[in-house]
């Protein structure tokens, strides 16, 4: 299977039924999914049309099943969707049972258009499309099964035109553009809907189904969900991250004990599992494994939990009390946390296995900085401080001497954090030196703007070439001007040095922040765990399995320096597959992840979509401490949204739920 018979997905209409089978296009050539694990994919039905792989497929039966799933997801708030989808399901069921009348064909068209044109939310507006496409292009498949008005059931009770209902396997996935854009697939429309109703606790409970770190994410998540919000085409995306923060902070204001909020285990498997690293991936995996009944121990090299959230994100963005409270909720639920424990020195992987840990999840972070490759960086000059070390020293209360002038190298969020922290540590002038233009900076736009507002000076299209020192101390940084050439592997234009354009910045401190590197001392040669480019651990992208049975890996240890929410997502998946391995002795990709692969190919969010909704509803922005009050200390810069703002912002949500139905052989 893989040949496409008919395709109306994303309005890319293609009907190949009149062509010889050997000329039917391959699904991959059309950018369409071609399989669901080892089962033959026969059809896909969803919000954007139909894809048919089998000319003998029973579209009427498949659409009946699809509308049954749509009906289950309807919130019931508007009559067209609630009543209309139920009516369509009944009519389709009547046809599959051989009792459909000729008038039902027109009835289905009327109901489909009515629901599409008058429903309040995206579920109702998009659900009828595959039906209307089928009625238009597969009319014969419907009409051949309809009973003329004057004809009824036969005397023997049999149904005219009824040959039985074929057997299929149905696989359903409910999604939304924002939900799908979130690596952890938090049910965003659901928790926003609860907030809109004033059910703040239910809203937070929905978030905590996927992560215990709601308050932390509400502050530092890079919110890819907002980039996938359909309001982008109307005015501005819903402020999803700030809504998450609001419901987490609302609970905080109630002063509830973390022990009362902890998600305690309901059963015990009797098995022990180990987690290496207390960053977002490790904490998430530990939390879920604990809920599943395992005795979980986290081994953390640092004296604090949280990984780079604790020692890589300054407290003006993520206050320690917020993160520590959420870590405490996990430990109060039963997870054991061993700080200051260096796996590889204090205990080895082999010793953990010998101590009875049946499964191990490696979630160690990247706590070393990448070298720049410039003259002077290996000389040990005073005033040369790698970015990761710089932020860690500040977070742990170490001594940091900067002088008056600081140059930070890099264009990511770590570089921005180093620059803004330098101002708070007393530096008078802070420069960010970045080899590309502002448009290519990987840091988030808000962070770039906030740094600029606070006084950070940018030197774009410049690259360090030499660190200048006198008496073993940094006194300057030589840089060279750059121009942008052809795109490189990242898709961004490659910076090229301009000959003779060198210039010198007089600085007391140089902080390189161009990347992070792993140090996995606990991985021994011949131990079976494989590493790839950059020293990252090789693990299955879905199941998180390494080459060693029972050992899994995820987060930055596998993907390199990435986002907090992606680390949380891998921790969640690792916990599921570790449990599967420990209970069944093997790992098999679950249907949920198979369906997610289909969604990734189909593209849930279309930035070119014409969203037929009223726009012009202004986005509520978080409240910030005035710039002149920020630089004296590391107190949190943002107040978030207040109550009224959050409720107003929740009203902007279009509730863009969508249903995908994949059909395989029965």
- b/e per residue, 535-551, with b = 16+ CB within 10 A? ebbebbebbbbbeeeeb
Kindly state whether residues 506 and 444 are assigned to the same domain. yes
- Number of DSSP helices (H) and strands (E) in the chain, helices first: 24, 23
pLDDT in the model for residue 1 = 56
Q: Is residue 593 part of a domain?
A: no
Q: What is the CATH number of the domain that holds 425?
A: 3.50.50.60
In the sheet that holds 295-299, the strands lie side by side as 336-338, 295-299, 272-276, 357-362, 551-553
Kindly state whether residues 233 and 186 are assigned to the same domain. yes
Q: Measured between alpha carbons, how far is residue 293 from residues 333, 359, 360, 467 in Å?
A: 11, 13, 15, 54
CA atoms 459, 461, 467, 468: torsion sign: negative
Q: What is the CATH number of the domain that holds 138?
A: 1.20.1440.230
pLDDT in the model for residue 151 = 64
Total count of domains within the chain: 4
Kindly state whether residues 248 and 171 are assigned to the same domain. no
Q: Is residue 637 part of a domain?
A: yes
CB 250 within 8 A of CB 598: no
CB 275 within 8 A of CB 555: no
Kindly state whether residues 268 and 396 are assigned to the same domain. no
Query: Rounded to the nearest 5°, which phi and psi values hold at 478?
Result: -85, 130
Kindly state whether residues 19 and 143 are assigned to the same domain. yes
Q: What's the pTM value of the predicted model, to 2 decimals?
A: 0.93
Kindly state whether residues 434 and 538 are assigned to the same domain. no
CB 80 within 8 A of CB 61: no
Q: Is residue 592 part of a domain?
A: no
- Among candidate residues 586, 601, 630, the one where a domain is terminated: 586
Kindly state whether residues 58 and 11 are assigned to the same domain. yes
Query: Rounded to the nearest 5°, which phi and psi values hold at 294?
Result: -90, 155
Task: Kindly report each contact of residues 159-162 with a partner whose C-beta sits within 8 Å and lies 24 or more positions away, as own/partner.
Answer: 159/97, 159/98, 159/99, 160/98, 161/98, 162/97, 162/98, 162/99
Judging by beta carbons within 10 Å of its beta carbon (0-12, 13-18, 19+), is residue 120 exposed, middle or buried? middle
Kindly state whether residues 142 and 59 are assigned to the same domain. yes
Q: Is residue 605 part of a domain?
A: no
Q: Is residue 609 part of a domain?
A: no
3-state secondary structure (DSSP) of residue 106: helix
Judging by beta carbons within 10 Å of its beta carbon (0-12, 13-18, 19+), is residue 502 exposed, middle or buried? middle
Kindly state whether residues 282 and 240 are assigned to the same domain. no
pLDDT in the model for residue 156 = 54
- Among candidate residues 517, 532, 567, the one where a domain is terminated: 517
Q: Is residue 601 part of a domain?
A: no
- Among candidate residues 482, 517, 552, the one where a domain is terminated: 517
Nearest to 314 by CA among 424, 453, 197, 462: 424
Dist CA 239 CA 244 (whole Å): 9
User: How many CB atoms within 10 Å of residue 269?
Assistant: 16
Q: Which domain holds residue 21?
A: 6-175+659-665
CB 445 within 8 A of CB 471: no
pLDDT in the model for residue 120 = 86
Dist CA 579 CA 609 (whole Å): 40
Kindly state whether residues 419 and 478 are assigned to the same domain. yes
pLDDT in tens, 425-441: 999 999 999 999 999 99
Kindly state whether residues 509 and 549 are assigned to the same domain. no
Q: Is residue 608 part of a domain?
A: no
CB 440 within 8 A of CB 430: no
Kindly state whether residues 271 and 246 are assigned to the same domain. no
pLDDT in the model for residue 167 = 84
Q: Is residue 641 part of a domain?
A: yes
pLDDT in the model for residue 330 = 96
3-state secondary structure (DSSP) of residue 498: coil
Q: What is the CATH number of the domain that holds 247?
A: 1.10.1060.10
- Spans in the chain with pLDDT lower than 70: 1, 149-165, 259-260, 262
Sequence-distant (6+) residues with CB within 8 A of 311 are 302, 304, 367, 391, 392, 395, 396
């Amino acid at each position: 299977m893989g040949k496409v018979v008919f395709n109306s997905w994303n309005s890319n209409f293609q009907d190949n039924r009149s062509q010889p089978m050997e000329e039917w296009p391959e699904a991959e050539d059309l950018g369409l999914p071609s399989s669901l694990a080892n089962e033959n994919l026969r059809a896909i039905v969803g919000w954007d049309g139909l894809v048919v792989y089998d000319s003998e497929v029973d579209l009427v039966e498949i659409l009946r099943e699809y509308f049954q799933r749509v009906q289950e997801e309807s919130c019931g708030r508007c009559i067209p969707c609630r009543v209309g989808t139920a009516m369509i399901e009944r009519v389709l069921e009547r046809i599959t049972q051989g009792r459909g009348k000729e008038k039902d064909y027109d009835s289905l068209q009327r109901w489909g258009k009515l629901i599409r044109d008058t429903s309040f939310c995206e579920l109702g507006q998009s659900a009828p499309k595959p039906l209307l496409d089928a009625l238009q292009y597969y009319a014969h498949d419907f009409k051949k099964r309809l009973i003329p008005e004057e004809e009824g059931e036969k005397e023997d009770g049999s149904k005219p035109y009824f040959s039985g209902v074929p057997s299929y396997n149905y696989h359903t996935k409910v999604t939304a553009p924002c939900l799908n854009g979130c690596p952890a697939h938090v049910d965003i429309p659901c928790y926003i809907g609860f907030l809109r109703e004033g059910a703040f606790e239910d809203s937070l409970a929905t978030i905590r189904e996927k992560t215990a770190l709601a308050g932390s994410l509400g502050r530092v998540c890079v919110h890819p969900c907002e980039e996938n919000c359909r309001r982008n085409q109307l005015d501005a995306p819903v402020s999803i991250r700030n809504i998450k923060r609001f419901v987490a902070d609302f609970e905080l204001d109630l002063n509830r004990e973390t022990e009362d909020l902890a998600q305690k285990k309901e059963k015990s498997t009797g098995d022990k599992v180990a987690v290496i690293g207390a960053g977002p991936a490790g904490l998430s995996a530990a939390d879920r494994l604990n809920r599943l009944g395992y005795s979980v121990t986290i081994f953390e090299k640092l004296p604090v939990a949280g990984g780079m959230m604790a020692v890589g994100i300054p407290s003006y963005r993520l206050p320690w009390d917020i993160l520590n409270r959420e870590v405490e909720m996990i430990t109060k639920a039963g997870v054991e946390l061993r700080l200051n424990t260096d796996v590889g020195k204090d205990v080895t992987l082999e010793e953990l296995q010998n101590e009875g840990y049946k499964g191990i999840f490696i979630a160690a972070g990247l706590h070393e900085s990448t070298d720049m490759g410039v003259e002077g960086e290996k000389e040990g000059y005073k005033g040369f401080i790698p970015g990761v070390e710089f932020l860690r020293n500040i977070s742990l209360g170490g001594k940091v001497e900067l002088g008056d002038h600081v140059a930070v190298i890099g264009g990511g969020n770590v570089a921005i954090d180093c620059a803004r922290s330098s101002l708070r540590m007393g530096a008078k002038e802070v420069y960010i030196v970045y080899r590309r233009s502002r448009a290519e900076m990987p840091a988030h736009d808000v962070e770039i703007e906030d740094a600029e507002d606070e006084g950070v000076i940018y030197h774009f299209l410049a690259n360090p070439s030499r660190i200048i020192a006198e008496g073993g101390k940094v006194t300057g940084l030589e840089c060279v001007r750059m121009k942008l050439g052809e795109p490189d592997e990242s898709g961004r234009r490659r910076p090229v040095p301009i000959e003779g354009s060198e210039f010198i910045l007089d600085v007391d401190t140089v902080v390189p922040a161009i990347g992070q590197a792993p140090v996995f001392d606990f991985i021994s040669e011949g131990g079976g765990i494989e590493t790839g480019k950059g020293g990252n651990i090789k693990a299955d992208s879905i199941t998180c399995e390494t080459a060693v049975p029972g050992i899994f890996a995820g987060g930055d240890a596998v993907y390199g320096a990435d986002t907090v929410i992606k680390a949380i997502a891998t921790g969640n998946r690792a916990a599921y597959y570790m449990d599967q391995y420990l209970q069944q002795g093997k790992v098999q990709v679950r249907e949920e992840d198979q369906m997610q692969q289909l969604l990734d190919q189909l593209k849930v969010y279309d930035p070119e979509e014409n969203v037929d909704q009223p726009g012009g509803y202004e986005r509520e922005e978080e409240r910030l401490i005035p710039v002149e009050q920020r630089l004296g200390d590391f107190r949190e810069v943002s107040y978030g949204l207040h109550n009224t703002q959050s409720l107003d912002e929740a009203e902007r949500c279009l509730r863009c739920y969508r249903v995908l139905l994949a059909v395989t052989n029965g």
